[in-house]
A and B are shown apart, each in its own frame.
Chain A
Amino acid sequence: MMDDMDQQHYLALARSLVNDLERGRHDDAERTLEEISCLRKSASYAALDRLIALMDEAPSSDTLDAALGEILTQEIPEIIERLNYVDGMINDSASKTLNHVERCLEACERVTADVDVELKELKDQTQDLRHGLNEILIAQSFQDLSGQVLNRVIDMVGGIERYMVQLMNHKAHDGEKLDQGPKTRSGEENADPYGPRIPGLDNPEMLKDQEEVDDLLSSMGF
C-alpha cells in the first residue's frame, strides 16, 4: 500500500533518476536507485506494521476467535499433511519409474547382444519389455492422485485467503458481516467427493484399500 506522501516521493525520485541517466551521471543515478529501494523497503514494512496493529485491535468476539482457532489448529496442519503426502507420493513414483525403466533397458541390451538368440527366448524378452513398460505406465497414476490433492490444497488455501480478506474488510468498514470461517470442502456432506485418502489424516469413514472396498461390497451381497 502506498499513501500520497510515498507516491510524491517516488515520483520525485523517478524523475531525478531519468534526469541523471539522460545526463550520464551514473553515480547520482546509483544513489537515487538506492534511495528508491530504501523507500520501498520502509513502505512495505509500514504496511506490515499497519496489518499487525489491525490484528492487535481485532475484537475478541467468539466468532473471530473460533474462526482463527480453526485456521490455526485444523486448516493449516491439514494443508501441511496433504503437502507431505504429495511429496512422498511423487518421490515413490519417480523411484518406481526409474526401477522399471532400468529393467527395460537391460532387456533391450540382452536382445541386441544376442543376435543369434533362440526365437522363443526373444519372445520372452519382448514380453518382459512389455510388462516393464506397462508398469511405467501405471506408475504415472501418481499424477492423477497428486493432482487431485494439490487442487484441494489450492482450494483450502483460497478459502483461508478469502476469509483473511474479509477480516480486513471487516476492520476497515467496521461491523461488516463476517462468515463463520474459511469455507473449504472438508466440512461438506459425506457423500461429496473428498479426494484421495491421506494416510496422515484420520478419517475413520474412509476405507484403506481395495480389499476393504471389496469386503464392504460383498457384505452388501455384491
Chain B
Amino acid sequence: MKILIVDDFSTMRRIIKNLLKELGFSNVSEADDGNTALPMLKGGGFDFLITDWNMPGMQGIDLLRNVRADPGIATLPVLLVTAEAKKDQIVEAAQAGVNGYIVKPFNAATLKEKIDKIFERIQATG
C-alpha cells in the first residue's frame, strides 16, 4: 500500500510517517501542500491520502475536492489530520467526501483506529 502524507510542517510529516511504519506501512511519500501533492496523486500508484487542512498554496480541503473531481483518483481514501475543529469545517469536509477526520493533537491509537475504520468500510462496501 502506497501512502501520501501532505502537511506544511515537516515535523508532522515525520511523526505520521514513523507512526505508519509502526503500523506496518512503509511505502510512504511526502508533499508540503496541495499544489505539490495533486500532480503526484494524478501520476498514479497511491492507495491512501493523509492531508493537513491549513497549508500555504493549496489547502487540504481543496486538495480533497480536486481528488474527488478527477475520475482517475476520485475513489482514493482521504484522511484529514488537522488542528481545524470548527463545526462548519468538519461538515464541509464530510460533504466534500472525506473518509476520516483526526483533530490535532492526536495519539498513535487514534491514527490506527481511523485508518482501520476507513479500510474496514472500503472492504465492506467494495
Looking at A142, A205, A213, A217, the one whose CB has the most chain B CB atoms below 10 A away is: A213
A206→B90 CA distance, assembly (Å): 10
Contact partners of B9 in chain A: CB under 8 A: 143-144, 147-148
Contact partners of A141 in chain B: CB under 8 A: 11-12, 15, 104-106
* Interface window among B24-32, B36-44, B65-73, B81-89: B81-89
Number of interface residues of B (CB under 8 A): 32
Contact partners of B14 in chain A: CB under 8 A: 137
Given contacts A196-B83, A196-B104, A205-B87, contact A134 B18 (CB under 8 A): yes
Residue of A nearest to B88 (CB): A190
A136→B102 CA distance, assembly (Å): 20
How distant is B118 from chain A, measured CB to nearest CB, in Å?
A: 11
Contact partners of B11 in chain A: CB under 8 A: 140-141, 143-144
Residue of A nearest to B55 (CB): A193
Given contacts A148-B54, A195-B54, contact A140 B84 (CB under 8 A): no
**Sample (26) of A-B pairs whose CB atoms are under 8 Å apart:** A130-B22, A134-B18, A134-B22, A137-B15, A137-B19, A138-B19, A140-B15, A141-B15, A142-B105, A144-B7, A144-B104, A147-B9, A148-B83, A193-B53, A195-B54, A195-B83, A203-B86, A206-B85, A206-B86, A210-B103, A210-B110, A213-B90, A213-B101, A217-B94, A217-B101, A222-B94
Q: Taking A134-B22, A138-B108, A210-B103 as given, write out 8 further A-B residue pairs in contact, using a Cβ cutoff of 8 Å, ordered by the A residue number.
A: A144-B9, A145-B104, A194-B86, A195-B54, A196-B83, A203-B86, A210-B106, A213-B102
User: A residues bordering B, Cβ < 8 Å?
Assistant: 130, 134, 137-138, 140-145, 147-148, 190-191, 193-197, 203, 205-210, 213, 216-217, 220, 222
Which 10 pairs between the two chains have the least Cβ-Cβ distance? A193-B54, A196-B83, A144-B9, A144-B12, A143-B11, A190-B88, A207-B85, A205-B86, A213-B103, A206-B85
